[in-house]
Amino acid sequence: MELTWIGHSCFRMRGRDATLVTDPCARASGYSVNRVTADVVTISNSHPNHSAVGELAGSPTVLDGPGEYEVQGIIVTGVRTPAGKAPGTPRNTAYIISVDDITLCHLGDLASIPTTEQIELMKDVNVLLIPVGGHCTIGPSEAVEVISQIEPKLVVPMHYATDVSTVELEGVDRFLREMGLTQSEPQPRINVTHSSLPSEPTVVLLQYRRS
């Protein structure tokens, strides 16, 4: 499975048989999903920076809430989490996604520590895609707590400030410090197989896609 970060909360997961995109972001976010194609799209909430399906190429199947789904060999479970911190913020759906032999969890705009029941659903994930920029989602300290509870093998931070983002967020540096890490060179993409997973939780930074 090939994992690419488009930007903000948007990732592309390219498996053997199908491609899934999470939270396609509007161009106003500073990122672009122009020319990105997908067979399946997951939407964590209705904000344009998470639901710009119309800016994707093609006509994908769209999943936009809790439930269990199977589309072109990709198995998805949507788990409802509380609304964001700001008044009127839409409720969030986290997604547990199985592509090939890898299980990922995309936490979307997670605004608080998940409940015990929600954590139990996420315990077997291999790759955790987690917001770390604070303000409208959990921040660095809360992200570290969530990681310690879920215990994934790979951790990919998302939803943080970059040189092109337009949303008010913290950068990734404080999260890395909270994890006891120093800044490392972001990778353009990673290829994940079950045999390549590390034995201990490992943070991987991805470079957002430049359109």
Strands 10-14 and 19-22: antiparallel
Which residue, 156, 144, 142, is CA-closest to 184? 156
Rounded Cα gap, residues 31 and 117, in angstroms: 34
What's the pLDDT tens digit per position in 62-113? 999 999 999 999 999 999 987 666 666 668 999 999 999 999 999 999 999 9
Out of 45-54, 83-92, 144-153, 174-183, pick the least confident. 83-92
Check if the beta carbon of residue 45 is closer than 8 Å to that of residue 51. Answer: yes
User: Which structural domain range is residue 73 located in?
Assistant: 2-203
- Evaluate whether residue 211 is within a structural domain: no
Q: How many structural domains is the chain composed of?
A: 1
Average of pLDDT values for 41-45?
Answer: 97
Task: Supply the pTM of this predicted model.
Answer: 0.96
- Alpha helices (H) in the chain, listed in sequence order: 48-51, 116-122, 140-150, 173-178
What's the pLDDT tens digit per position in 112-131? 999 999 999 998 999 999 99
List the CATH number of the domain containing 138: 3.60.15.10
**Owner of token pair 């409802």:** 80
- Evaluate whether residue 174 is within a structural domain: yes
- Evaluate whether residue 210 is within a structural domain: no
Supply φ then ψ for residue 53, to 5 degrees.
-60, -35
pLDDT value of residue 88? 61
- Evaluate whether residue 148 is within a structural domain: yes
- Evaluate whether residue 66 is within a structural domain: yes
